[in-house]
A and B are shown apart, each in its own frame.
Chain A
Amino acid sequence: MIVRKPLPRWADLVLVPFLNLTLAFLISGLVVLIIGENPLEAVKILLYGAFGYGEGLGYTLHFATNFVFAGLAFSIASHAGQFNIGAEGQAYVAGLGAILVALALDQTHWLLVMPLAMIAAGALGGFWGFVPGYLAAKRGSHVVITTIMFNFIASAFMVYMLNNVLKEPSNMAPESATVVNAGKMPQLREWWDYFGYSPLNVMFFVAILALIATYILLWRTELGYKIRTMGQNPNAAHYAGISNSAIVMIAMTIAGAVAGMIALNEVLGVQNRLVLDFVFGYGFVGIAVGLMGRNHPIGIALAAVLFGALYQGGQELAFMMPAVTREMILVIQALVILFTGAMEGLFRGPLEMMFGMLEFSKSDTKDDAAASSKS
């Protein structure tokens, strides 16, 4: 009889995601073939566009910065057992805090603007995460549904704010005034022209710090221990004297605040003004990043770079191959989410069976060896 055992750690962390990704890319290649282009050529363009030269690499890392924040926003909530799909809305409302601080302090220094904008964006994003957290903890609402609804409420709210409050009277488009001085995040290209015209800015370093801080928070502090205990077994957490509802609210607030950092990277790093829909789906991609990264900072960093490369390489692809439009990125993204997230069990079953058989034959030989040494 073959006993199914859990996979060895390396297979779980490396082999399964690798096989799933390969399958997602193979099907993406098929889509490229269907629309009449050469998939191998597409891969070449995509890789060169993402990593081949300074400006491309800059864009890749810029997108990866967004995905790190979005991925962390998903994962921190996930560790507390909450399914946060509201990073999109949390980042969107956070844009309001970022732009208001930046516009008010545009004549000062970026070293003053940046921390204050981070606090403002974090506060608004955190609030947008706190409310679903509160409703889940105290009123028993389902976080998935509430965060979906909050994404739409955020979208309507921001359209109103941009059209009725922030719009310049002289401007027809629904967008805020532009920051010109200290409100802009310093670009890495100002110190190192290797990155060409890419908008890679200081938020990249904030993202790295956020990854480290998340690791410390979750695995090296009491709060992190409580969050993880609560996520794995709410009953055990309750008996250990942990207030589950407080932990849910805290985790959702932190998640929202981290998602809010996307606003600084995009609003103050690229657009220099608040525009409609600047979050552009980054929040949703965070779900895939968190899942692929197995909710661990190192995994999230790797997955964020992968998706950053897909975004930048995909744009290059849309530019170089006439039949491929920007939506190809969406298709690849969907397939990656599908196979690494929802259909994760596709290879797991057969692999467990395979490893089970290997173990079985190994333990057989061991028994034989033990028997022969005795005699």
Chain B
Amino acid sequence: MGFFDSLILLLDSTVRLTVPLLLACLAGLYSERAGIFDIGLEGKMLAGAFGAAVVAALTGSAWLGLFAGIGVSMAMALIHGVASITFRGNQIISGVAINFLAAGLTTLLGQTWFKQGGRTPQLNGDARFNGFDFPFADQLADVPVIGGIYSELLSGHNILVYAAFFAVPITYFVLFRTRFGLRLRASGENPKAVDTAGVNVNMMRFKAVLITGILCGIAGAYLSTGMSSGFVKDMTAGRGFIALAALIFAKWMPVPALYACLLFGFLSALGNFMQGAELPIIGEVPVQLIQALPYILTVVLLAGFIGKAVGPKAGGIPYVKER
């Protein structure tokens, strides 16, 4: 296999691995921009993956599964909202609780319903989101360079992959070009000003948290019904936290979020690719180092050694209306 073919394979795998990160990262973007920290992205994604796989397995429809995944994830988001907005609880603690709740409930219910050690039944056919080919993908496949890029890299993914990338410009538009977006961002920067303008800060934050739920649900559905064929215990494997790292890396901006997720997606694809591979001169590169790179980079960035990441000013602080 030539160098170019390997590169295309690596990039193709990058795209697949970027999608859940990107969806979760954009999810976190809405919540954190509105002033609600969310370290429960992981848990919501896991719950969404489980909901999607269960309903897809029972009904045989990936689309119904997707809606179920979104619903379950939104329910989790609502818990986070009630705890941290209504009861002004600590947002970090609520996030930790949601991660535990999702990890426990998914396996427990999965075992109760399907008795396969926490797995859901294997999904095939319409119960999964299958890839579809672009027009002329087959004919162009043999054309050098263009064929590889068009037929392998761009074509042949499932609908959720394209939706994830499409969500980036939409998020940019919603947050920076609409009144809703301005109010949402203001709730995270200066909630008092939003309140003075006669807008309900807590309602804005609830809306943001629910959007987070929707996007996490899609990310979860992609994991269990798109990328794999069914739910497996702990299948998010820390992706929610990498997404959080990407969000900080992107300094809470939508388009940089895409780049950060592509970078971190590439690193995890590279990690899989390099398993046991020997490089000239350097020798065997420890896979663990590549896997840890997103976290190390984020720590370095946060410390201000490469630029400075400053989050929304009112993030993490419950809003108390003056009376």
Contacts and interface: CB of A to CB of B under 8 A. Distances in A.
Interface in A142-170: 142, 144-146, 148-150, 152-153, 156-157, 159-160, 163-164
Given A145-B302, A148-B39, A337 B93 contact: yes
Given A31-B108, A341-B93, A152 B83 contact: no
Q: Is the interface of A mostly helix, strand, loop or mixed?
A: helix
A325 B244 CA distance: 30
Contacts of A52: none
Given A139-B303, A146-B302, 6 more contacts: A35-B112, A140-B304, A141-B299, A330-B107, A333-B100, A341-B97
Given A135-B302, A342-B87, A153 B292 contact: yes
26 contacts: A31-B108, A35-B109, A35-B112, A85-B96, A139-B304, A141-B303, A142-B311, A144-B37, A144-B39, A145-B244, A148-B241, A153-B299, A156-B291, A156-B292, A163-B288, A325-B118, A327-B103, A327-B104, A327-B107, A331-B100, A331-B105, A341-B96, A343-B94, A344-B89, A345-B89, A346-B87
A291 interface: yes
Q: Is the interface of B mostly helix, strand, loop or mixed?
A: helix
B42 to A, nearest CB: 10
Contacts of A85: 92, 96
Nearest to A336: B97
Contacts of B238: 152
A83 interface: yes
B221 to A, nearest CB: 22
A345 B83 CA distance: 8
Interface of A: 31, 35-36, 83, 85, 135, 139-142, 144-146, 148-150, 152-153, 156-157, 159-160, 163-164, 284, 287, 291, 323-325, 327-335, 337-338, 341-346
A328 B36 CA distance: 29
B101 interface: yes
A149 B299 contact: yes
A333 B304 contact: no
A291 B244 CA distance: 24
8 tightest CB-CB pairs across the interface, nearest first? A330-B104, A334-B100, A342-B94, A156-B292, A334-B101, A342-B89, A331-B104, A338-B97
A148 B244 CA distance: 10
A144 B88 CA distance: 18
A325 B302 contact: no
B286 interface: yes
Given A145-B244, A164-B286, A341 B89 contact: yes
